Structures are given as C-alpha cells and as structure tokens.
Structure 1
C-alpha cells in the first residue's frame, strides 16, 4: 500500500472488511454551522462500536498553530497530550450493519494527496456508496423543518431532499473535492448540506446534528444514534424560545422569517426569491438578544479541531 507511513498508518492487525460497505464522511472545519458535523463526529466515536482502519498523519495534514492540540498540566508535570484524529474506522450501526466512517478535522494541507489516499482505500475495499454531511448558515427560522441542499450523482436523493438549488460559486472544502472525485469515478455519492438558522450557527445546535444523522440514514440505510441529541434539542429549543418570546422585536423578526420561509416552500410568487434577500433580518440582529443564553453553551472550538 503506497500511501502508508507519511500519509496514514494502518493498524497492526487490519480487520476483515466486507466489500460493498457504505462510506460516511464527517469532517469538521469550514462548513460546520451549528456544530452539526462536530456533534456527528462525537456521536460516531462515542456511541458506535468501531475498529481502526487507517489513521492519517497529523504532520502531513494538520496546521498545529491554527488548531493547537490539548495537553494537561498537572501541578508540576505535563501529561495527557491529545492530538486530533483524522481516521477511517470500520463501524457497526445500532442494528449491527457495518460501514466505514471517515471522521475528524478537515486537512489544512495536502488535499490532493489526502483525497488520493482515501480513494485508494475506497477502491481497495470496494465501497458501495459515499455520503457526507456539512452545514451552512442560512436566514431560515428554527421553528420550521431544517432543510438540505443535496448534490452528487444520486439523482433520486437530489430530487427528493434538495429544497434549495443555487447556481453559484462557493469556497471549496476537502469534502467537496472528495465528492467530485468519487462522482467522477462513478461511485454512488451524495452530499447533504444542512441549512442551519443563521442566528444559531455559532451555537452547538442539536437539531442540526439530528438532521445530519437522518440524512446519512436516508442515503445509506444506517441506523445511527440520535436519542441523546433529541433530548438535548428539547432543552435547547425551550430556552431559545423563552428568550424570543420575552422580546417583541425578536418575535416579530422570527415571524418575518417564518413568513418568507413558508412562501418559499409553498410555491408562492416569492418562491423565486433567494433565501438571502436583503430585507431579511441579519444574524447580528437576532443573535444579539440570544447571546446571553448561547454564551452558556459548551464551546466547540476544541471539537472543530478533531
């Protein structure tokens, strides 16, 4: 295997990997509104039984000064150095169905080298499909279903689940490059972009992670854990709604978002309008009143470096 060593390290005892497994990709970084991907990574690592397949070399892909690892200082000595992990594992869902998962931080360097290594591994194990998730901030209300934009070469998923289909240019991520290369090779590939309310984009929004995991299920048939996230989301939404209901200006702005959203999805004359029309409230206007609550949420900076 030519990519071992400087690029990734396989375990001493490589597990037996059946062919035709789905590959799930969740990489934190640039497009992680609501910490959706960070929470998915946590769910896959903490709630799913897995076996390492490949550990990618941080020295090849990580900018240590931009995303510094954590180390503990214990009175008079250092311990417990925790470098972030970028890895592929063999996992089993809640029904025992096996799949491969590529999780961790988005590489800062060596995108082409990283993508080539992932594709080589995918070809070696003859994966059956690729599904990846990420999230962007959009001026949509949290009181409506969280929508997705779907891309890739699985037209049935695009037709059924893509609520917004822009023609635009966006800053690329390594996930986009993986999608492009897999699609070009003919591998069934789907990307789900979660459209997260812009005023919750900097919070750890459990509903975004739930929608991400549900999207993976739609594309792959995997049964993934969401119960803890659903409980956390109930508490999160109750506190956000409490803040909004106590402020008439916020309530009015939310109502305007709901009206514009409903007109868009119901095919009214405003359907052709963009989600980001200038007359929609800005993120700062709504987020300012929520800041006191959101500031009490756990930070996600360390999670985004995983």
Structure 2
C-alpha cells in the first residue's frame, strides 16, 4: 500500500466544535488573531492576567471550542478544586477556546486562549492553521512571559520574534542564539510563517524575583504590545491600578532591607550598562556572556523575610513578601 494513500490520523477538524453561524460572519474575514496559552512559562502570571482581563472586559463569544480531553494530561497537570470543611466546589476545568471579541473601538478580532495542549501538537497545529485559513486571518500575535534578571525599577522589556520586521526592529532587548524548550506558541509561529501568514510573538521579561506571583505591570506591557501589533484598543486600566499598588508594596519591602536594596541596585547598574545603545549579543549578559544567577537575590530575599517578625499580610501579593 502506498503510505501516502493511507492516513491513520484523525482529521484535525474533529478536535473542535465550531459555531458555524459566527464563523460565517463577514466581519471576521481578514481579522487579526491574538493567542496566549497557560502551562508553559507564565512568569508573573502575565498570560493568566491578560486572558482574564480580555474575557471580563470585552464582548467574547466562543467561535470554536476545542475538545480538551483529547489534549490535556490531567495527571501531570492536575486542575484545581476547592475543599471547604466537608464539601468540594469550584472545580476549575481546563479549556481551550477561540473567541470572537470586539475591542473598545468596535473592531472585531479573534482570541485563542486556554491551557497549552500536552498532547497532539501536530494535529492541534493543523486545526489552528485550518481555522486561520478559513477566516483568512491577517496577522497572528501571541504573548508569553519569561523570568529574567532585570530590575523592577526599569521599563518592562520583551524579546520579539516572527516574520514582520516592522513589528520587531527596535523592540527586542535580548538578542542571542540558543536552544530553548518549545511551547505550542513557538510551533504555531513556525508553521504560520511557513504558510506565509503574518505572525509575531512577544516574550515579556519579568523580574525573576517576582516571577512566581502576579505582576500586573508585565501584563500591561503584554497588552500594549498585542494592541499595537494588531491595531486594537485593549483594556488595561484595572491592571494599571493593580500594578501601582504592587509597585508601592515592592518599594516598601526593598527599602526595608539594605541587602535586598543593594542587589536591586546592582541589577539596575547592570541593566543600564547594557542598554546604553551599544549593540550586544545579549542585553543581560556580562562581559563573559553569562547570565546572572537568580540564587543570590533569592537567598537575600529569604534571609530578609526570615528576619522579619510575623505579621498579618495585607495588600497585593508579590513575590518578595
């Protein structure tokens, strides 16, 4: 038998259920598509915050709902559930949905968000590319976040990649060559580019000592990059307000420890030295091109916290409190 005549794989269209009436809307033809997935690297919970803000602040209608049971390994990434005294509630089931949304100026766009698939990446990619083709998507822009040895007192940076030089040039702060673990966003970006689709990805740099908690300023930066790329007015006021509160708390905690303040100051010095306009292989690398280690700062923060008397916590949670 000719192997090209035998296709043992399920059709990618069987991975999702589509709203046929909605997908036939002529306004969506040529619209831009935004993407964000949880489960890979979500430093500062940037993706989680962006997804929540868009779904709560904008009109969102499910256009295609993916069969999450075919894509998730529940035992390796167990969903959360709440146990209260003698009962269970608030089971947070994973999901992966393509939404039709409308921005603040009435511009329709698409948003694919949810849990990064554990399984069937090739089939899922074919499914997404099929939807992109059917809707004749103009531009795909996606965002994720990574922990970086940068100070919270400097502007949020990003590493930008894709096939649109006009959206990349002059933005990327970190330029290097290295092998990294792939995320589904990376795979989709490569396959979209191979088919000639416009695509751009933004990796938001989150201070590594704040990467385990919500860091709203980084989510605001992600929304700004996505909005600028796709010419959309995306909501960010609530995140900006939360960010101001978090920044005040961080400032108080840094000022409360001379050791932590010194380390943050050293990060500022390193950042400033390598962002003075001189071309470098990496904004963050030192003279020997090695990235700074987070352990020193983490140890200093832990020592500072251990020295504090226990007291009730109030205000937004940060990664150093």
Q: Flag whether TM exceeds 0.5 (same fold).
A: yes
Alpha-carbon distance in 2 for matches of 1:290, 1:35? 23
* Unaligned residue ranges in structure 2 (runs of 5+): 1-10
Shift of 1:209: 0.5
In structure 1, the residue matched to 2:209 is 199
Report Cα offsets for 1:226-277 as digits up to 9, x if no partner.
00000100110111110001111111111110011011110469x5566253
Alpha-carbon distance in 1 for matches of 2:176, 2:149? 15
Query: Alignment partner for residue 17 of structure 2, among 9, 16, 20?
Result: 9
Shift of 1:69: 3.3
Alpha-carbon distance in 1 for matches of 2:158, 2:59? 28
The structure-2 alpha-carbon separation of the partners of 1:12 and 1:154, relative to structure 1 and needing over 3 Å to count, comes to closer
In structure 2, the residue matched to 1:304 is none
Alpha-carbon distance in 2 for matches of 1:54, 1:108? 19
Aligned: 1:37 with 2:47:
yes
Alpha-carbon distance in 1 for matches of 2:314, 2:129? 39
SS in 2 for 1:27: strand
The structure-2 alpha-carbon separation of the partners of 1:59 and 1:167, relative to structure 1 and needing over 3 Å to count, comes to same
In structure 2, the residue matched to 1:149 is 159
* Residue pair 2:35, 2:141 contacting (<8 A) in 1 also: yes
Shift of 1:295: 11
The structure-2 alpha-carbon separation of the partners of 1:220 and 1:56, relative to structure 1 and needing over 3 Å to count, comes to same
Aligned: 1:228 with 2:238:
yes
The structure-2 alpha-carbon separation of the partners of 1:160 and 1:278, relative to structure 1 and needing over 3 Å to count, comes to closer
* Residue pair 1:26, 1:104 contacting (<8 A) in 2 also: yes
Shift of 1:58: 1.2
Work out the number of aligned pairs and report it: 297
Aligned: 1:164 with 2:174:
yes
* Residue pair 1:240, 1:290 contacting (<8 A) in 2 also: no
Alpha-carbon distance in 1 for matches of 2:255, 2:316? 19
SS in 2 for 1:151: strand
In structure 1, the residue matched to 2:298 is 284
Alpha-carbon distance in 2 for matches of 1:237, 1:130? 32
In structure 1, the residue matched to 2:95 is 85
The structure-2 alpha-carbon separation of the partners of 1:100 and 1:272, relative to structure 1 and needing over 3 Å to count, comes to closer
SS in 1 for 2:274: helix
Alpha-carbon distance in 2 for matches of 1:294, 1:121? 46
Shift of 1:66: 2.5
The structure-2 alpha-carbon separation of the partners of 1:286 and 1:73, relative to structure 1 and needing over 3 Å to count, comes to closer
Shift of 1:157: 1.6
Give the structure-1-normalised TM-score.
Answer: 0.88
* Unaligned residue ranges in structure 1 (runs of 5+): 300-306
User: Which deviates the most, 75-84 or 129-138?
Assistant: 75-84
In structure 2, the residue matched to 1:303 is none
Alpha-carbon distance in 1 for matches of 2:250, 2:314? 9
In structure 2, the residue matched to 1:113 is 123
Give the structure-2-normalised TM-score.
Answer: 0.84
Rg: which structure is higher? 2
